[in-house]
Structure 1
Amino acid sequence: MGFWTVVLIIVLAGMAFSAWRTKHMTQHGITEDFLGNQSIQDRGASEEMQRELEELRERVQVLERIATDDRESKRLSAEIDELRKN
């Protein structure tokens, strides 16, 4: 067995290990940043945050509608007052 054959086997073994490690970490919800720091992702918390985000979006839509309607009614009221003065 030549030198380059051994190098090739070592490289292939390293690639296989890296693929297995990535699959294993993904299955268990472990993420790793570019510095190698690992953190566990809680799927339940993620779903809860998505639900809360959707609720907040709905609330913002309601507040925007209230603010817009109020502004429109104030403008209309000001126009009516202006017409009464004339």
Structure 2
Amino acid sequence: MSFWTAAVIIVLIWGIVQIYTRRHDRDLGVTRDEDGNPVFAPSKADPEGDETRREIERLNDRIKVLERIATDANSQEAQERRRIAQEIEDLRDRQAE
């Protein structure tokens, strides 16, 4: 087998693989970005995917709120507010006695 025969066979195999993957990707709803990496596009007729996407958005919103609570509760300003509130409560307790 000559070099050119081997080169033609390799190019043919590569072309067949490219055709197969593009057809197969299109059936699965896969698109490619500019670098050729697969990007799974959501199907328009997939209500389960839409529901999943909405659930993920809700969970992301909840995570943002929890992160804000966790960081705000430990900030210097929040600690100062708690200290002042505790002092006010102590003064009310003394006044009640």
| TM-score, normalised with respect to structure 2 | 0.50
Distance 1:12 1:66, change over 3 A: closer
Distance 1:5 1:28, change over 3 A: same
- Are residue 52 (structure 1) and residue 55 (structure 2) matched? yes
RMSD over aligned Cα atoms: 3.7
Q: Match of 1:36? A: none
Task: Return 8-17 or 57-66, whichever deviates more.
Answer: 57-66
Deviation at 1:6, TM superposition (A): 1.3
Q: Match of 2:89? A: 81
Q: Which amino acid aligns with 2:89?
A: D
Identity fraction in percent: 26
Q: Which amino acid aligns with 1:54?
A: E
Q: Which runs of no fewer than 5 residues in structure 1 stay unpaired?
A: 32-40
Q: Which has the higher contact order (CA 8 A, sep 6+)?
A: 1
Per-residue CA distance 1:12-50 (angstroms, 9 max, x = gap): 00110111111111101178xxxxxxxxx9732433322
Q: Which runs of no fewer than 5 residues in structure 2 stay unpaired?
A: 31-40
Q: Match of 2:36? A: none
Alignment of 1:1-80 (within 5 A): 3-29=2-28, 43=43, 44=46, 45-62=48-65, 75=82, 77-80=85-88
Task: Number of aligned residue pairs: give it.
Answer: 73
